[in-house]
């Protein structure tokens, strides 16, 4: 959806998907490409898309020697450098908001999401929130992104919608993305 959106809005050169290191978004070929957990992706490497992997925040082993509750996410410089280096190519970034579950429950501050949202706006990139594991109150708010006071362009939700009774997933977009599929560009 994000690929087609960028294409339909005249950004054909934006071809790269971006993710955080240690990210996990599922086990289909597409999402394995935007994940960084080799345990799941190793055997599929020849089939995966070439993606940009940005250094994820790691508050437990903070390279800046800060505390999660009081830092200004100095580690965000990794995202800024990646976006600056690949400015013309970055089409989308997908994140697990507030925590990376398969990375060992790495929790990071909400200000990282706020800064990421601003960075995506600056570089005309789509921000996808993978709220599969964090949505529906699991972080104290309806969605993890609510802690940052900003909204992603696309949000993927699942799991708790049916309480595990039946499999069901929904992809939610902004009006801007929705309307692009009906516009004549």
Q: Is residue 63 part of a domain?
A: yes
User: Where residue 116 falls among pLDDT bands split at 50, 70, 90?
Assistant: very high
**Predicted pLDDT of residue 185:** 55
Average pLDDT, rounded, for the chain: 83
**Predicted pLDDT of residue 142:** 87
**Predicted pLDDT of residue 103:** 66
Q: Is residue 166 part of a domain?
A: yes
Average pLDDT over residues 36-45: 73
Q: Is residue 119 part of a domain?
A: yes
Residue 1, pLDDT > 70, answer yes
Q: Is residue 144 part of a domain?
A: yes
- What is the DSSP track for the chain? -HHHHHHHTT-TT--EEEEETT----SSHHHHHT---HHHHGGGGGGS---EEEPPP-STT-TT---TTT---GGGHHHHHHHHHTTTTEEEEEE-SSEETTTTSEE--HHHHHHHHHHHHHHT-EEEEE-TTTTTTTTSSSSGGGGTT---SEEEE-GGGTTTSS---EEEE-HHHHHHTTS--
Q: Is residue 185 part of a domain?
A: no
Q: What is the CATH number of the domain that holds 126?
A: 3.40.640.10
pLDDT digits (tens, 9 = 90+) for 12-37: 888 888 888 877 777 777 777 777 76
pLDDT digits (tens, 9 = 90+) for 142-173: 888 898 899 999 998 887 777 778 888 889 99
**Predicted pLDDT of residue 104:** 63
Which residue segment(s) compose the domain that 119 sits in?
2-180
Q: Is residue 176 part of a domain?
A: yes
Domain count, the chain: 1
């Amino acid at each position: 959806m994000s690929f087609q959106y960028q294409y339909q809005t005249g950004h054909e050169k934006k071809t790269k998907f971006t993710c955080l290191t240690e990210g996990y978004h599922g086990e289909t070929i597409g999402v394995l490409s935007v994940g960084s957990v080799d345990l799941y992706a190793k055997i599929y490497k020849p089939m995966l898309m070439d993606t940009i992997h940005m250094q994820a925040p790691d508050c437990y082993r903070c390279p800046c020697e800060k505390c999660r509750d009081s830092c200004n996410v100095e580690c965000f410089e990794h995202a800024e450098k990646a976006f600056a280096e690949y400015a013309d190519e970055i089409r989308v970034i997908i994140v697990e908001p507030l925590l990376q579950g398969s990375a060992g429950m790495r929790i990071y501050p909400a200000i990282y999401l706020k800064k990421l949202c601003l960075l995506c706006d600056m570089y005309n990139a789509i921000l996808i929130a993978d709220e599969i594991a964090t949505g529906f109150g699991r972080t104290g708010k309806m969605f993890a992104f609510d802690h940052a006071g900003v909204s992603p362009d696309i949000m993927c939700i699942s799991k708790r919608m049916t309480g595990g009774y039946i499999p069901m997933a929904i992809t939610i977009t902004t009006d801007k993305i929705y309307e692009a599929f009906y516009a004549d560009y």
